[in-house]
């Protein structure tokens, strides 16, 4: 993604309707110290917490829930900065190379469980 977008953004919003695990864009948002708004889908909430990230969650497909999550961050600059700092620290603790290793490790486990080599 373009660095200008992250530098100038107050918040990064993830309008996902499904997920396959950790988000590369989340890691980029963390690199720029941005607060994030994420859908409450699958294991995404638990996954980002395990990685040290934090954000506001919304119910996918619910516009009011999304608007409320954005408002909680945008209307409170101190909270927005707190989330951004936490996400920056999380991005420093889990470099993208380790995210790739995590995917490879789990994919290997899935393939073995299915009997695929």
Helix pair angle (63-74, 77-93), 10° resolution: 90
Report the C-alpha dihedral over residues 45, 50, 56, 60, rounded to 10 degrees. -20
Give CA 62 to chain center in angstroms: 19
Q: Helices (H), strands (E): how many in the chain?
A: 6, 3
DSSP state for residue 10 in the 8-state scheme = S
Q: What is residue 51's predicted lDDT score, i.e. its pLDDT?
A: 86
Q: What is the mean pLDDT of residues 2-6?
A: 80
DSSP state for residue 33 in the 8-state scheme = T
* Residue 1 in this model has a pLDDT that exceeds 60: no
> What sign results for the dihedral spanned by CA atoms 16, 73, 46, 117?
positive
Q: What is residue 50's predicted lDDT score, i.e. its pLDDT?
A: 85
Confidence of residue 3 (pLDDT cuts 50, 70, 90): confident
Q: At CA 25, angle to CA 24 and CA 30, rounded to 5?
A: 100
Give the pLDDT confidence of 63-107 residue by residue, as tens digits: 999 999 999 999 999 999 999 999 999 988 866 677 777 778 878
What are the residue ranges spanned by the domains of the chain? 3-113
Specify the pairing of strand 35-39 against strand 56-58: parallel
The CATH architecture of the domain made up of 3-113 is 3-Layer(aba) Sandwich (3.40)
What is the Cα–Cα distance from 80 to 50, expressed in whole angstroms?
20
Name the pTM for this structure. 0.74
């Amino acid at each position: 993604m373009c660095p200008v977008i992250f530098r100038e953004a107050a918040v990064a919003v993830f309008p996902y309707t499904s997920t396959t695990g950790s988000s590369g864009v989340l890691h980029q948002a963390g690199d720029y110290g941005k607060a994030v708004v994420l859908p409450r889908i699958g294991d995404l909430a638990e996954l980002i917490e395990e990685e040290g990230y934090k954000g506001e969650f919304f119910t996918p497909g619910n516009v009011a829930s999304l608007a409320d999550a954005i408002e909680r961050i945008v209307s409170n600059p101190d909270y927005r900065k707190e989330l951004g700092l936490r996400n920056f620290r999380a991005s420093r603790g889990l470099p993208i190379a380790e995210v790739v290793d995590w995917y490879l490790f789990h994919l290997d486990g899935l393939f073995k469980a299915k009997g695929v080599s």
